[in-house]
């Protein structure tokens, strides 16, 4: 390893719990090593990519009593100061280090079921663009295919580190790809043109055109610049963000709601076929799909702005009950089976 540095964490942060809290920890370029409880990923820092291994040590270098302890980052090559800042910023986004402990406590006051385990943070991607593409690759497809698509996108289009591992491709790199190349080499199927179109929008940082009907409702978004920053800005209203996301190619109601939770807007529920399975097998609901969806919305209504976290940790607890703690899962074995029909 070429360099080592540390990143401070909020007082409640536990790497093994908070990294292994959402399925993206199993998708390339990410890799969780259960044996050592280390998180490895490859980050595109602009001009170079770095493969980094992230760990969290307790007193004396132990793996116990790690809560709130800083993260140790080991990079394969020594980064410049600017590159180190870029790596730290992207890791902070992935682990939501910007959400302080008080914010997690507010969630626990609303839904005390998760206070004992401390669950509250949800792992996400290094960039919003990667979150959007990962969401698209998880739609209308079984989870093993999502794993393949993300691995191939990295291998075919991502910048390689000195270790020979690949980062997730930037919007600029994917924007230069041809749709048929993505289909042939990355197994993305009919999503090919949509992914390239999304990449071009994010590479220009322009966003979709505001449709007349949305404009008539007073919804607007920046057309020429700063689309990503506008979406990430907490001052932007949920309705405007949702309307903008629904204008993106390949983004429907489910994907828009999922991207919103990835943006930290937890009031929206991305309900899908897995939600229906949860309603029937865990919550004990019955009836046609539409009625189940209404029951699910009613069930999570009391959790207000935290709805998604309550919903997700219910699902996650079910998976862990069947497959053991998520930090013991490996991508190629348990990780391939952890959704829907296989459980």
Partner DNA sequence: GGTAGACCTGGACGC
Partner DNA sequence: GCGTCCAGGTCTACC
- Which pair of structure tokens corresponds to residue 295? 């029951």
In the complex, least distance from residue 138 CB atom to DNA, rounded to whole angstroms: 7
Residues 260 and 269: their CA atoms lie apart, in Å, by: 9
Is 141 a binder of DNA (CB under 7 A)?
Answer: yes
Residues 227 and 202: their CA atoms lie apart, in Å, by: 7
Give the interface size with DNA as a residue count (CB under 7 A). 29
Q: Which CB atom, from 11 or from 189, has the smaller least distance to DNA?
A: 189
Out of 3, 172, 203, 340, name the contact with DNA by CB under 7 A: 340
In the complex, least distance from residue 211 CB atom to DNA, rounded to whole angstroms: 12
- Between vectors from CA 268 to CA 106 and to CA 219, what angle results, nearest 5°? 115
- Which pair of structure tokens corresponds to residue 264? 């930290």
- Listed in sequence order, the residues at least 6 apart from 18 whose beta carbon sits closer than 8 Å to its beta carbon are 95, 96, 121, 123
CA dihedral 1, 53, 337, 256 (to 10 degrees): -130
CA-nearest of 168, 171, 131 to 152 is: 168
Query: Which of the stretches 86-94, 110-118, 186-194, 215-223 binds DNA when contact is defined by CB under 7 A?
Result: 186-194
- Listed in sequence order, the residues at least 6 apart from 105 whose beta carbon sits closer than 8 Å to its beta carbon are 12
Q: Which CB atom, from 142 or from 162, has the smaller least distance to DNA?
A: 142
Q: Is the peptide bond before 29 cis (omega within 30 degrees of 0)?
A: yes
- Nearest-Å Rg of the Cα atoms of the chain is 20
Is 341 a binder of DNA (CB under 7 A)?
Answer: yes
Q: Which CB atom, from 8 or from 184, has the smaller least distance to DNA?
A: 184
- Which pair of structure tokens corresponds to residue 335? 């990780």
Is 140 a binder of DNA (CB under 7 A)?
Answer: yes
Is 250 a binder of DNA (CB under 7 A)?
Answer: yes
- Say if residues 331 and 31 touch (Cβ distance below 8 Å): yes
Residues 20-79 that bind DNA (CB under 7 A): none
Query: Which of the stretches 13-21, 46-54, 188-196, 315-323 binds DNA when contact is defined by CB under 7 A?
Result: 188-196
Which strands sit side by side in the sheet containing 49-56, from one edge to the other? 3-7, 71-75, 49-56, 38-44, 31-33
- Which pair of structure tokens corresponds to residue 334? 């348990």
Is 334 a binder of DNA (CB under 7 A)?
Answer: no
Is 145 a binder of DNA (CB under 7 A)?
Answer: yes
In the complex, least distance from residue 293 CB atom to DNA, rounded to whole angstroms: 11
Residues 286-325 that bind DNA (CB under 7 A): none
Is 264 a binder of DNA (CB under 7 A)?
Answer: no
In the complex, least distance from residue 340 CB atom to DNA, rounded to whole angstroms: 4
Q: Which CB atom, from 89 or from 315, has the smaller least distance to DNA?
A: 315
- Say if residues 319 and 338 touch (Cβ distance below 8 Å): yes
Query: Which of the stretches 91-99, 138-146, 218-226, 296-304 binds DNA when contact is defined by CB under 7 A?
Result: 138-146
| Pattern 267-286, DNA, x by CB under 7 A | -----xxx--x---------
Identify the burial level of 200 via C-beta atoms within 10 angstroms of its C-beta, where 0-12 means exposed, 13-18 middle and 19 or more buried: middle
Is 249 a binder of DNA (CB under 7 A)?
Answer: yes
Is 252 a binder of DNA (CB under 7 A)?
Answer: yes
Residues that bind DNA in the complex, under the rule CB under 7 A:
139-142, 144-145, 148, 183, 187-190, 194, 248-256, 272-274, 277, 340-342
């Amino acid at each position: 390893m070429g360099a080592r540095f540390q990143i401070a964490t909020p007082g409640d942060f536990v790497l093994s719990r908070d990294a292994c809290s959402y399925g993206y920890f199993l998708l390339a370029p990410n890799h969780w090593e259960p044996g050592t409880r280390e998180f490895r990923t490859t980050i595109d820092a602009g001009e170079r990519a770095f493969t980094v291994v992230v760990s969290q040590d307790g007193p004396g270098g132990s793996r116990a009593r790690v809560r709130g302890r800083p993260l140790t980052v080991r990079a394969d090559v020594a980064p410049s100061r600017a590159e180190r800042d870029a790596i730290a910023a992207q890791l902070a986004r992935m682990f939501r280090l910007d959400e302080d402990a008080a914010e997690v406590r507010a969630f626990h006051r609303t839904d005390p079921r998760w206070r004992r385990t401390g669950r509250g943070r949800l792992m996400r991607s290094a960039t919003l663009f990667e979150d959007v593409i990962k969401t698209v690759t998880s739609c209308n497809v079984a989870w093993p295919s999502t794993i393949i698509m993300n691995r191939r996108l990295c291998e075919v289009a991502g910048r390689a580190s000195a270790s020979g591992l690949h980062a997730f491709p930037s919007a600029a790199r994917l924007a230069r790809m041809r749709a048929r190349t993505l289909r042939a080499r990355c197994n993305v199927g009919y999503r090919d043109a949509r992914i390239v179109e999304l990449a071009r929008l994010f590479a220009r940082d322009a966003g979709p055109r505001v449709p007349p009907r949305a404009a008539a409702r007073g919804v607007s978004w920046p057309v020429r610049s700063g689309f990503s920053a506008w979406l990430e800005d907490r001052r932007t209203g949920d309705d405007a963000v949702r309307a903008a996301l629904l204008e993106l190619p390949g983004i429907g109601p489910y994907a828009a709601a999922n991207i919103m939770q990835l943006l930290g807007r937890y009031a929206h529920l991305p309900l899908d076929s897995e939600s229906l399975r949860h309603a029937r097998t865990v919550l004990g609901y019955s009836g046609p799909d539409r009625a189940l969806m209404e029951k699910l919305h009613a069930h999570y209504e009391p959790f207000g702005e935290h709805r998604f976290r309550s919903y997700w940790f219910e699902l996650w607890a079910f998976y862990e009950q069947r497959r053991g703690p998520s930090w013991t899962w490996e991508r190629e074995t348990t990780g391939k089976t952890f959704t829907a029909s296989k459980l």
